[in-house]
Amino acid sequence: MIAPSISRYPVPKLEELPEDIRARMLEVQEKAGFIPNVFLTLAHRPDEFRAFFAYHDALMLKEGGLTKAEREMIVVATSGANDCLYCIVAHGAILRVYAKNPLVADQVAANYRKADIGDRQKAMLEFALKVALRSSEVIDADYEKLAAHGFSDEDIWDIGAIAAFFALSNRMANLISMRPNDEFYLLGRVPKK
Amino acid sequence: MIAPSISRYPVPKLEELPEDIRARMLEVQEKAGFIPNVFLTLAHRPDEFRAFFAYHDALMLKEGGLTKAEREMIVVATSGANDCLYCIVAHGAILRVYAKNPLVADQVAANYRKADIGDRQKAMLEFALKVALRSSEVIDADYEKLAAHGFSDEDIWDIGAIAAFFALSNRMANLISMRPNDEFYLLGRVPKK
Amino acid sequence: MIAPSISRYPVPKLEELPEDIRARMLEVQEKAGFIPNVFLTLAHRPDEFRAFFAYHDALMLKEGGLTKAEREMIVVATSGANDCLYCIVAHGAILRVYAKNPLVADQVAANYRKADIGDRQKAMLEFALKVALRSSEVIDADYEKLAAHGFSDEDIWDIGAIAAFFALSNRMANLISMRPNDEFYLLGRVPKK
Amino acid sequence: MIAPSISRYPVPKLEELPEDIRARMLEVQEKAGFIPNVFLTLAHRPDEFRAFFAYHDALMLKEGGLTKAEREMIVVATSGANDCLYCIVAHGAILRVYAKNPLVADQVAANYRKADIGDRQKAMLEFALKVALRSSEVIDADYEKLAAHGFSDEDIWDIGAIAAFFALSNRMANLISMRPNDEFYLLGRVPKK
Amino acid sequence: MIAPSISRYPVPKLEELPEDIRARMLEVQEKAGFIPNVFLTLAHRPDEFRAFFAYHDALMLKEGGLTKAEREMIVVATSGANDCLYCIVAHGAILRVYAKNPLVADQVAANYRKADIGDRQKAMLEFALKVALRSSEVIDADYEKLAAHGFSDEDIWDIGAIAAFFALSNRMANLISMRPNDEFYLLGRVPKK
Amino acid sequence: MIAPSISRYPVPKLEELPEDIRARMLEVQEKAGFIPNVFLTLAHRPDEFRAFFAYHDALMLKEGGLTKAEREMIVVATSGANDCLYCIVAHGAILRVYAKNPLVADQVAANYRKADIGDRQKAMLEFALKVALRSSEVIDADYEKLAAHGFSDEDIWDIGAIAAFFALSNRMANLISMRPNDEFYLLGRVPKK
């Protein structure tokens, strides 16, 4: 049986890659046990690869008012709205791990209104989906609603910017038919003993 | 009279900025005669600023099968679909300059089907808008249609990736109410003598 | 910790239920190891319960040209389009079991175009989604396209009727905030030894 | 002249039908003077026929807080939104008869906001259309709005369930090109002397 | 019982009206037996009234390749898509009279694909609805499809212009809550002896 | 180089035109310095031409509570929503001239929420876009919101009627591929000395 293609475009071999990109891949492999296909497939274009992950890290690894699980909720909810298989599956796994909750990712991907999350998080996702789907309609009242839930202006930039970055990411994954690693589907579903 | 705000967020002063960011701004000011507000407003977050422009340059300045004017057409058409004032006005100006055509930007922003462009460019924009608006529906037949117009697979990545990057860019501009510099509105409209 | 509510409406106790309904529940519990919440929550209205499951069985258990896994694909794809948490999760589990494939349900729920299924199945799901989302536009050409993939007229009734029945089912689940049993999330993901 | 087809599928002859189905048809013929085509066309699949009408009766004939005319309003309004010719025409006729009003069906099919109905009924139809068109967005506030108009939780189940059942019914009618009997078009329009 | 209002705006009395407008009303009353409310309600603004009916007559009374019934089909189909109660009911009546067919208006208002009309007329209505709903997407191929059905370029202007004029008319009727005369509902439904 | 076509239909020569139509064209040429293509292209159908401009003048030249610049804002905003190249460019120019503001037209065409206009004008454009895009949903609350901004009922008729008239105009321009005169693109952008 042939492994299914992970991209519509050529996937470079590890040994052909620029040193910095290979190093990043080995580092993530070390941590996760496998190299997520977003690394392998985007490496087809090294400059775009570097910018993509620099942007990702600036938004997802920084300090701030949102927890890591909340950031991943934004990714999963907006990727669900954009029907992006890679991001739903891969970031769903990461959300399960960060939230230590095996159910929340499938809930947020399907319909955040029915998810086991708080009202503050529902307001966050309502706004993230507005940025994802009809950003031109964002108005002052949206900012005020989030402020009433305790979000600072910098938090709101975070929410909106994560929705915006995954607007890019979802489109790239759909464009090149990026395939989620099989490992992601099960990750975080079975409690460790 | 007070100048209108160019962002909903604080705009750093040039002298407060990290050296690399200030250098980039001075360089663009040297060339364009003014600093486009996208530089000033995104500098509120230096790490995101660096990733944003690295991504932009990787897509817009690279060699490839698309002319610079064609890349800007993609920006203007998808920004029009996303109702993004900053990108329509600023990239409309750049498109006029690159295309040496004072009409084409307003045409493409309104409706590329009625623009003074060729069938190949219309096919390019039809695909770019599909990536911008319903990327999950991209299928093999879309690739084949573009191939029939002479676009290579790498050209198609370029088209899709530019549409994807400006999906991000449009959402950021709408999120922070980024205001286009007044200079952009007239740029490229009056032939130089 | 209190168990989260499985319905916005009262959920009858097993011992209060009419005999035929209780028998059906015990039968499914025997087979699945637990009682899916769709049984418990719809039992609030016994007559509707009976009609619902009679309809379900008439479509999902009958002989015909579609495999059981294909029928569940239709359920999962259209429930994904309708953002119905209960049906995505519960029928996703059933699909994994019938297809003996731990990945296909998440794929079909997100975007059937990227799923590990054949062209015939993609044509089936394209039609099912048309019935689910814009049934008034169904025309002869749709029938002809399916016939070209080997579907008989009776198969097409099956596809359309399953999409139609889950249009009802998804709306009921969304109306009453039907909660998927926790068991469904993991079912069919881990190969049995 | 040949009578136009009433279904894309074979229509069984009365004498070929199972006894219970034929009995039901003769009973309705007795009352209405003709057999509505929904009976004749769905009889192509006896098990689905039985479930369909059991569901229909459970919702439309039961006691409850909604009048029979109000239930038919829900059918007509949601069938209008789904562009279902059979249900608009057939249930429009039934609505005229129950409401003893020759105008209200055409009004509700076109735009309930302009119909000669009360505010309570407009709120009911607004909710029914939300269930019909975007049920995943139903939230607590919708329930509260209806409660303020005096609807009980059981009434709300009725409203939502009728909208859900006709989501199924409309899709079946569109799927098989179910043709309304000519008799329905005039029924209830001319006051009896 | 008070007669329901026919407009949200003041309705002038016949004797207050400019002579030409009153004359037109009396003429239509002579022919139809009543004054359609579109005349009474738009007379609130005499200059707009004159332009409206001049435009109407230029499109609906002129010679050309479309029959009068076909023109009214365009009105009814596009008014159905715009949910305009006045135009569906009033022009539905006129369509029944011109087509000498008591069924066709309700069919076309609900879904022209299921109406008792020919393929040429279905192509005409498909184009009319494109002009009504997404005119910016009209392309050469649409013209060619209509030409293949025997429509001349002037016929296509007629189709498009009628759809365009009733885009205006539907919006005015919705804006002012124009009420159809009760007489229209029954007109053309009962064959004359 | 051949001048691009200004219409998909024949454009009559000035000397072939009926006297009243030619006179109107010469008058506008006298004032504007050129004949806008809407005159030349619609003259293909003299009766429709006369009705079109009579309607236009009745709405755009009359006295009333809206300034001329505000009326043009309505035209530009709704034409932007309808992707009508001719009206965006031609009425954008007129708006710049009336408002003595070189920026406002591009702002309103892209997204009125980000334009340099007041809250009253934003409320006006929100309503105009509702009439343009989903007029059947206009309800009393819309009227009340406008009244709270000081608009009279007659002002609201003006706003709605302008949106309605340009619903017609946009569709005609899209239908016949009406091309804006090159002169419009620059008009009102460069301050006169």
pLDDT per residue over A156-176, tens digit each?
999 999 999 999 999 999 999
pLDDT at residue B3 in the model: 77
E-chain residues near F161 (CB < 8 A): 45, 48, 172, 175
- Tell me how far CA of residue B91 lies from CA of A137, B37, B115, B127, in angstroms: 21, 12, 16, 19
Answer yes or no: is pLDDT of E1 > 60: no
- Tell me how far CA of residue A57 lies from CA of A162, C154, F73, in angstroms: 11, 53, 43
C-chain residues near E113 (CB < 8 A): 136-137, 139
Chains that touch B (3 or more CB pairs under 8 A): A, C, E, F
pLDDT at residue D192 in the model: 67
CA nearest A98: which of A81, A130, A132, A74? A74
Enumerate residues 6+ apart whose C-beta is below 8 A from F30.
none
AA identity, residue B89? V
AA identity, residue C171? R
Answer yes or no: is pLDDT of B64 > 70: yes
Answer yes or no: is pLDDT of D143 > 70: yes
pLDDT at residue C1 in the model: 56
pLDDT at residue E90 in the model: 98
Q: What is the mean pLDDT of residues D161-189?
A: 98
F-chain residues near A137 (CB < 8 A): 113
A-chain residues near B60 (CB < 8 A): none
Q: Of the candidates F83, F174, F189, which has its C-beta nearest B185's C-beta? A: F189
Mutation site, D61, D136, D137, D143, interface C, largest C CB count within 10 A: D136
pLDDT at residue D32 in the model: 93
Contact at 8 Å (CB) between F181 and B103? no
CA nearest E43: which of E174, E187, E183, E172? E172
**C-alpha distance across the termini of chain A, in Å:** 34
A-chain residues near D136 (CB < 8 A): 111, 113
| d(C-alpha B7, C-alpha B2), whole Å | 14
Mutation site, F83, F113, F125, interface B, largest B CB count within 10 A: F83
pLDDT per residue over F64-121, tens digit each?
999 999 999 999 999 999 999 999 999 999 999 999 999 999 999 999 999 999 999 9
Task: Please calculate the CA angle F149-F150-F156 and round it to the nearest 5 degrees.
Answer: 95
- Tell me how far CA of residue E70 lies from CA of E67, E158, F171, in angstroms: 5, 11, 20
Q: Residue F64: helix, strand or coil by DSSP?
A: coil
Q: What is the mean pLDDT of residues E30-53?
A: 97
pTM for the whole structure: 0.97
Task: Give the ipTM.
Answer: 0.97
Enumerate residues 6+ apart whose C-beta is below 8 A from E44.
E7, E9, E10, E11, E12, F157
| d(C-alpha B142, C-alpha B151), whole Å | 11
Q: Do F164 and E153 touch (CB under 8 A)?
A: no
pLDDT tier at F59 (50, 70, 90 boundaries)?
Answer: very high
Answer yes or no: is pLDDT of B182 > 90: yes
Q: Do C110 and A189 touch (CB under 8 A)?
A: no
pLDDT at residue A131 in the model: 98
pLDDT tier at C192 (50, 70, 90 boundaries)?
Answer: low
Concatenating the DSSP letter of every residue in C130-151 gives: HHHHHGGG--HHHHHHHHHTT-
pLDDT at residue D45 in the model: 98
C-chain residues near A188 (CB < 8 A): none
A164 touches chain B (CB under 8 A): yes
Enumerate residues 6+ apart whose C-beta is below 8 A from C159.
C66, C74, C124, C127, C128, C131, C146, C151
| d(C-alpha A129, C-alpha A19), whole Å | 37
Q: Of the candidates D4, D114, D189, which has its C-beta nearest E85's C-beta? A: D114
The Cα of E137 is separated from the nearest Cα of chain B by a number of Å equal to 8
pLDDT at residue C3 in the model: 77
Contact at 8 Å (CB) between B54 and A51? yes
Concatenating the DSSP letter of every residue in C78-143 gives: HHHHTT-HHHHHHHHHHHHHHHT-SSHHHHHHH-GGGSS--HHHHHHHHHHHHHHHHGGG--HHHH
Answer yes or no: is pLDDT of C182 > 80: yes
The Cα of B143 is separated from the nearest Cα of chain C by a number of Å equal to 14
| d(C-alpha F119, C-alpha F112), whole Å | 10
Q: Do A111 and D139 touch (CB under 8 A)?
A: no
Q: What is the mean pLDDT of residues C92-103?
A: 98
What is the dihedral angle through the alpha carbons of B75, B77, B79, B83, rounded to the nearest 10 degrees? Answer: 170
| Nearest chain E residue (CA) to F131 | E171
Contact at 8 Å (CB) between A92 and A76? yes
Answer yes or no: is pLDDT of D193 > 60: no
Mutation site, C130, C136, C142, interface E, largest E CB count within 10 A: C136
Q: What is the mean pLDDT of residues E164-183?
A: 98
CA nearest D165: which of C76, C91, C166, C80? C166
- For C34-38, which contacts have Cβ atoms below 8 Å and span 24 or more sequence positions? C34/C181, C34/C183, C35/C181, C36/C90, C36/C181, C36/C184, C37/C6, C37/C7, C37/C86, C37/C90, C37/C178, C37/C179, C37/C180, C37/C181, C38/C86, C38/C90, C38/C169, C38/C173, C38/C178
What is the dihedral angle through the alpha carbons of D186, D190, D192, E4, rounded to the nearest 10 degrees? Answer: 140
pLDDT tier at A192 (50, 70, 90 boundaries)?
Answer: low
The Cα of E63 is separated from the nearest Cα of chain D by a number of Å equal to 31
| Nearest chain C residue (CA) to D59 | C48
Place of tokens 């008989």: C152
| Nearest chain A residue (CA) to C90 | A106
- Residue C140: both structure tokens together: 């002869």
| d(C-alpha B51, C-alpha A161), whole Å | 13
F111 touches chain A (CB under 8 A): yes
pLDDT per residue over A59-68, tens digit each?
999 889 999 9
B189 touches chain F (CB under 8 A): yes
pLDDT per residue over A140-159, tens digit each?
999 999 999 999 999 999 99
Express as a percent the part of chain A with pLDDT over 90.
95
Average pLDDT for chain F: 96
C-chain residues near B135 (CB < 8 A): none
F101 touches chain B (CB under 8 A): no
Q: Do D135 and C82 touch (CB under 8 A)?
A: yes
Q: Do B168 and A165 touch (CB under 8 A)?
A: yes
pLDDT per residue over A86-138, tens digit each?
999 999 999 999 999 999 999 999 999 999 999 999 999 999 999 999 999 99
pLDDT at residue F192 in the model: 67
Q: What is the mean pLDDT of residues F21-48?
A: 97
Q: What is the mean pLDDT of residues D59-78?
A: 96
Q: Do C111 and A83 touch (CB under 8 A)?
A: yes
Answer yes or no: is pLDDT of C2 > 80: no
Contact at 8 Å (CB) between D176 and D8? yes
Q: Is F117 left (phi over 0), alpha (psi -120 to 50) or beta?
A: beta
pLDDT at residue C169 in the model: 98
Task: Please calculate the CA angle E33-E37-E43 and round it to the nearest 5 degrees.
Answer: 115
| Nearest chain F residue (CA) to A138 | F113
The Cα of A79 is separated from the nearest Cα of chain D by a number of Å equal to 17
Answer yes or no: is pLDDT of D10 > 70: yes
| Nearest chain E residue (CA) to B126 | E137
pLDDT at residue C12 in the model: 96
Answer yes or no: is pLDDT of C91 > 90: yes
Enumerate residues 6+ apart whose C-beta is below 8 A from B65.
B151, B152, B154, B155, B158
Enumerate residues 6+ apart whose C-beta is below 8 A from E104.
E69, E73, E95, E96, E115, E116, E117
pLDDT per residue over C62-89, tens digit each?
889 999 999 999 999 999 999 999 999 9
Contact at 8 Å (CB) between C17 and C43? yes
Q: Residue A58: helix, strand or coil by DSSP?
A: helix
pLDDT per residue over E83-126, tens digit each?
999 999 999 999 999 999 999 999 999 999 999 999 999 999 99
Chains that touch C (3 or more CB pairs under 8 A): A, B, D, E
Contact at 8 Å (CB) between B164 and A175? yes
Average pLDDT for chain D: 96
Chains that touch D (3 or more CB pairs under 8 A): A, C, E, F
Mutation site, F124, F140, F174, interface E, largest E CB count within 10 A: F174
pLDDT per residue over B5-24, tens digit each?
999 999 999 999 999 999 99
In this complex, how many residue pairs, one in chain C and one in chain D, have their CB atoms less than 8 Å apart? 118
Answer yes or no: is pLDDT of A2 > 90: no
If contacts are CB pairs under 8 Å, which of residues 127-146 in chain C contact chain E? 136-137, 139
pLDDT per residue over D117-142, tens digit each?
999 999 999 999 999 999 999 999 99
pLDDT at residue E83 in the model: 98
Q: Do C157 and D45 touch (CB under 8 A)?
A: yes
pLDDT at residue D1 in the model: 56
Contact at 8 Å (CB) between B188 and B78? no
The Cα of C57 is separated from the nearest Cα of chain B by a number of Å equal to 33
Enumerate residues 6+ apart whose C-beta is below 8 A from E147.
none
DSSP F10: -
DSSP B11: -
Answer yes or no: is pLDDT of C193 > 70: no
How many other C-beta atoms are found inside a 10 Å radius of the C-beta of residue A44? Answer: 16
What is the dihedral angle through the alpha carbons of B135, A7, B73, B55, rounded to the nearest 10 degrees? Answer: 110
Least confident of A12-16, C152-156, E147-151: A12-16
Distance of CA E84 to the CA centre of its chain: 10
CA nearest C187: which of C75, C117, C109, C95? C95
If contacts are CB pairs under 8 Å, which of residues 9-48 in chain C contact chain A? none
Helix (H) or strand (E) holding E49: helix E46-60
Mutation site, A48, A75, A171, A172, interface B, largest B CB count within 10 A: A171
